[in-house]
Amino acid sequence: MTLRPRSKYNARKTVIDGVTFDSVGEANRWRQLKLLQRAGVIKGLGEPHPSFPIVLNGTTVCTVEMDFAYSENGLAICEDWKGRDLPMSRLKRKLLAAAYPHLTIRVTGPGAPKPRKPRKAAGKAKGGGRNA
């Protein structure tokens, strides 16, 4: 009996349409996007896992792989499905945004960053500070 190595975050690879996805959630998102394309909400859904070279001064520094690419309302969308968002994936998205400013980067899934609350205005703190 051979044991398959366990994924670090318990993700199960899933095959749909002959394409291997890193998780069940990512595979389900692929199904959703295909339905959205069939309904005419999005267009140009290409093959999963498109790669984007990051070029700096004529040298390819690295290649960033996203999960999906399509257009929606005339915008070019690159989508990254996340079960858990890690610092390396945030860095890759920043690199992609810098190298391809015309792309809209969308993060979906339970690990997608939550909208941040607006910060309070800078100023004196109310209440019993040291010098109060």
Chain segment 14-45, per-residue pLDDT in tens? 888 888 888 899 999 999 999 999 999 999 99
Asked if residue 61 is part of any domain, the answer here is yes
Strands 75-81 and 104-108: parallel
Is 104 part of any domain? yes
Kindly write down the DSSP assignment for every residue of 39-84, as one continuous string.
Answer: TTSSB----SS-EEEEEETTEEEEEEE-SEEEEETTEEEEEEE-SS
- pLDDT for 1 equals 57
Residue 6 lies in a domain: no
122 is written with which tokens?
């800078």
Residue 101 lies in a domain: yes
115 found inside a domain: no
What are 73-85's pLDDT values in tens digits?
A: 999 999 999 988 8
Percent of the residues in the chain that have a pLDDT greater than 70, as a whole number: 83
64 found inside a domain:
yes
- Whole-number pLDDT of residue 122: 66
Mean pLDDT of 57-82: 94
Report pLDDT for 27. 92
Q: Which domain holds residue 63?
A: 14-108
| Cβ neighbours of residue 96 closer than 8 Å, sequence gap 6 or more | 52, 54, 64, 66, 78, 103, 105
**Domain total of the chain:** 1
Q: Give domain status of residue 113, yes or no.
A: no
Mean of the per-residue pLDDT values for the chain?
86
Mean pLDDT for the stretch of residues 61-86: 94
Q: Answer whether residue 7 shows pLDDT above 90.
A: no
The Cα 103–Cα 113 span in angstroms is 18
In a domain, 119, yes or no: no
CA distances from 60 to 43, 52, 56, 64, 99 (A): 29, 10, 6, 11, 11
Contact 102, 72 (CB under 8 A): no
The CATH number of whichever domain residue 28 belongs to comes to 3.40.1350.10
Q: Quick check: 40 and 21 in contact, CB under 8 A?
A: no
